[in-house]
Chains A and B, each alone.
Chain A
Amino acid sequence: MNALLTLDNLTVTYDRHPAVHHVSGFFRAGSLTAIAGPNGAGKSTLMKAIMGELLPAEGRLQHQLVRSDFGYLPQAADINRRFPISVLDTVLLGAWRHTGAFKANGSKEHAHATETLAAVGLGGFERRPIGSLSAGQFQRVLFARLLLQDAKVILLDEPFTAIDARTTQDLLDIVAHWHGEGRTVIAVLHDLEQVRTHFPETLLLARECIAWGPTAEVMSAGNLLRARMMAERWDDGAGTCEPPVSDASSNGVVA
């Protein structure tokens, strides 16, 4: 088993209250994993921790990757949708790894960006200002930018929220395509049917890791019930956590 990204007893907190609590396990290289769980389960927090935007309070993340290996689509991106920028220029930002901050985009990058726009079903939208796009079209643009980024690991945080069925299907096809190319894809999802149909592996999170492994085994009625039982409220009287010794080498179904 070649672990690409290992969580070793990972705990991430807000105000010392754990949002992700003693999670251990690993994402295989080339795996396609859904992260599921109730609201407040720490799904987005885990994504941010993987991206290095939040630091672990305890435990650690282990990987041999560099920043440009990651492509990340946050849940509530603080994107200024009224910014006067065209669809093509937005997608071209995805070439950052090649151009950096200063190098000009050549005809190669332009051609590539046009291709990716066609691939997400937005051929002919190059000159449109992003302010004129619908939510679904804009999500397609962000996927086109991810395509251009050519990242080894792709993190998607609730990518299909408020997106119609047709767009969701098209974007799921792109996810499957990434999987076929051997990229590692990790997606936070709340549509359990989607998880069962499209994602071979699942991490069921309820602050603690409820189960992690093949989707069919993880998504058992018992596991889902345990995930739902998670208390959403912080325990104001909680004492300091004394964790049991965990074992990062054992992946797979914990339940």
Chain B
Amino acid sequence: MSAYDLLIAPFADYGFMRRALIACLCLALGSGPIGVFLMLRRMSLMGDAMSHAVLPGAAIGYLVAGSLSLTAMGIGGLVAGLSVALLSGIVSRATVLQEDASFASFYLTSLALGVLIVSLRGSNIDLLHVLFGTILAIDGPALALIGSITSVTLVALALVYRPLVAECFDPGFLRTVGGRGPVYHALFLLLVVLNMVASFQALGTLMAVGLMMLPAAVAQLWGRSLTAMITLAAVTAAVSGYVGLVASYHLELASGPTIIMTAAVIYGFSILFAPSGLVRRLFPRPHLAG
């Protein structure tokens, strides 16, 4: 098998592979940077919870549209995700519950409700699609939606970069200069939910955060500056998407999980060999003179 057959033919020969690849690259550009900020805000698991929270909205969209329509499910997911984020924010401010506790309660409720709604009408096959995604079935309109969300994400991140960094790094300072931290926090949550919706059809609700958190973890292991981390996260996610698609094509594996597993392999490699990784710890280099 030539290199062409191995690496390029799957995409040259099949339109669904091309669309899947473009979807992955878009997701990588948007979700990678978002994941880095989520991680730096110590909200990694919150991202996971959020992805489950999106489910009932998507399920209602699915019921209304009667098929796996990404637009209907996307709108439903957006509404559900934002409601959970907003409600848990309100509950944590109004009661003694910390935000993570109220978040957990809401997303579990949300997940149960979502599965219930899907099982009302759909078959088990549909449920599997909703949970794990169908990246090979992405069509033109779905691709347009994913591309738009990525564009909005990148422009928004560029615009609010400084306040977002200040809010992550030193929220007290942002308060003293009157920087309206909560506004940027809310805007950031909106971007998170948008990107969840984007990766929804590709990877399903359960793995939608996969292309956010794993590349972000890799980036944090290798990168020193925020710019380097954001770039690394996007590149890692893009490489995972491409390699995962190629591997799933040749080995006849399910695409979504293969993409996430590729990211996981890169993560494992990074844990071992990154500058702060295990190998460096076991075999330290001699220290410098000054």
> Which residues from chain A sit less than 8 Å from chain B, CB to CB?
51, 53, 67-68, 70-72, 74, 77-80, 83-86, 90, 93, 96-97, 99, 101-102, 129, 145, 149
Interface of B: prevailing SS = helix
A51 in contact with B179 given A84-B225, A101-B160, A129-B224 (CB within 8 Å): no
Stretch at the interface among B80-88, B145-153, B168-176: B168-176
A84 near B223 (CB under 8 angstroms)?
yes
B162 near A78 (CB under 8 angstroms)?
no
Find A84's partner among B159, B172, B226 (CB 8 Å cutoff): B226
A80 near B169 (CB under 8 angstroms)?
yes
A sample of 23 inter-chain contacts (CB < 8 A) reads A51-B176, A71-B176, A74-B172, A77-B170, A77-B173, A79-B169, A79-B170, A79-B173, A80-B168, A83-B40, A83-B165, A84-B40, A84-B223, A84-B225, A84-B228, A84-B229, A85-B165, A85-B225, A93-B170, A96-B179, A97-B177, A101-B162, A101-B179
Interface residue B166 (Cβ < 8 Å from any Cβ of A): yes
1/0 contact string of B211-231 vs chain A (CB within 8 Å): 000000000000111101100
B225 near A93 (CB under 8 angstroms)?
no
A77 near B172 (CB under 8 angstroms)?
yes
B163 CB to closest chain A CB, in angstroms?
4
A243 CB to closest chain B CB, in angstroms?
31
B172 near A96 (CB under 8 angstroms)?
no
Interface residue B178 (Cβ < 8 Å from any Cβ of A): yes
* Cα of A101 to Cα of B159 in the assembled complex, Å: 9
Enumerate chain A residues within 8 angstroms of B225, measured Cβ to Cβ. Answer: 84-86, 129
B234 CB to closest chain A CB, in angstroms?
16
A71 CB to closest chain B CB, in angstroms?
8
Enumerate chain A residues within 8 angstroms of B226, measured Cβ to Cβ. Answer: 83-85
Enumerate chain A residues within 8 angstroms of B176, measured Cβ to Cβ. Answer: 51, 67, 70-72
A77 CB to closest chain B CB, in angstroms?
5
Enumerate chain A residues within 8 angstroms of B160, measured Cβ to Cβ. Answer: 101
B178 near A80 (CB under 8 angstroms)?
no
Enumerate chain A residues within 8 angstroms of B228, measured Cβ to Cβ. Answer: 84
A78 near B171 (CB under 8 angstroms)?
yes
* Cα of A99 to Cα of B165 in the assembled complex, Å: 15
* Cα of A48 to Cα of B40 in the assembled complex, Å: 27
Enumerate chain B residues within 8 angstroms of A96, measured Cβ to Cβ. Answer: 166, 177, 179
* Cα of A96 to Cα of B162 in the assembled complex, Å: 10
Q: A67-B177, A84-B228, A102-B162 are in contact. List 17 more A-B contacts (CB 8 A).
A: A51-B176, A67-B176, A68-B177, A77-B172, A78-B170, A78-B172, A79-B173, A80-B168, A80-B169, A80-B170, A83-B40, A85-B226, A86-B225, A93-B173, A97-B177, A101-B160, A102-B159
Cβ-closest chain A residue relative to B176: A72
Enumerate chain B residues within 8 angstroms of A78, measured Cβ to Cβ. Answer: 170-172
